[in-house]
Structure 1
């Protein structure tokens, strides 16, 4: 009888090369169990939605909804104001004291900014530097390349000082109570946001307003930045321009009667 059959020799050879199981082999079932529990927990938490869903579209939708809501509220306010005016005019036809006060208020509307004005004037345009990403020179900060709140306010103040009779920013009538604020490189005016270039138009003597702009320290600083950082600044004399009536709220927190 032969010493061993071929299949027995094969079994003994396999037994000799077989290595003992190490610790990692024993941990494989535990790792698989933990992974299964993790996947199950993630599925229940997501509840059919993506855990890493990009929320930017939702944010844009919220912004659009709020903008539409503000627009609708403003339209409703205009309608109510028109209704109040209509009823006041109706009462003024038969009530002497109401008619007198109504006439007095109408006489103040042009000076208060509640009527459109037309005439010669000046337009000032301020713009960010036309720098593309990666083209900023060494040592130049991003803030050096944009128009700031103080730059717009300096131009506005100078034009008022130069005898401006009426003024608009981005086509919106501004009054002495109007606040010019910047959010980043955008302008916030009467609850609305505007992007550069920022356009300021005023009715008055163009030469007088140009002199006032030239004498303004704030405007001179901006013109220096124009030369150094290629910001945009332009003055345009207007032969005939229309400044719209003020359409915002006329409510005042405090007031002082002048003598």
Structure 2
């Protein structure tokens, strides 16, 4: 059953709608660098996944279909038939699912630092075990160390600390249930069904979803998708916010 997602709805009511959906362990605050420039051109809706931020935490495990159903319920409540979608990591996976299984709802698709499959699920098995035994908070610093390149992180300690706070405050049950969705995630066979114009943004130094094979697999699997690689780690929308925002805006306006 779908849950009522916590969200923020900003920008002109008569502008094209762009939904921003973030990574595992984040909140809608991760999109703060994008809000001002994007709301000049779009009605921007930021959301928290189930189990994250201000959204409900239903019992797990979750599946990607559950997270997508939450989004469809939100769009229905807001009276929105079709939207542009930009998702990073987990948010990108939800976007891929929506674009292939509910294509009539997605006008165009931006997929940032994400994956259509994890051939080696060891990372998720280990993460699930760690959260099950000790909770999410002790893992926060290690997780965030993969979100930014070391030099950028050293120069922006306040941003890194804030990001670690998002992870640490994510409910253990919600984080764990989303990890279970990621452990079994494999959308490779459905990429060819995506017809929405698609932009894939990757970070050249992303250790979590590197260009090879993750971004490349998506870009080659979705018809006519375009791949752009930015000099960043996993949260490219923060580390190189200006470049990422420009690409997102240009593609969403298509």
Q: TM-score, normalized by length of structure 2?
A: 0.23
Higher-Rg structure is 1
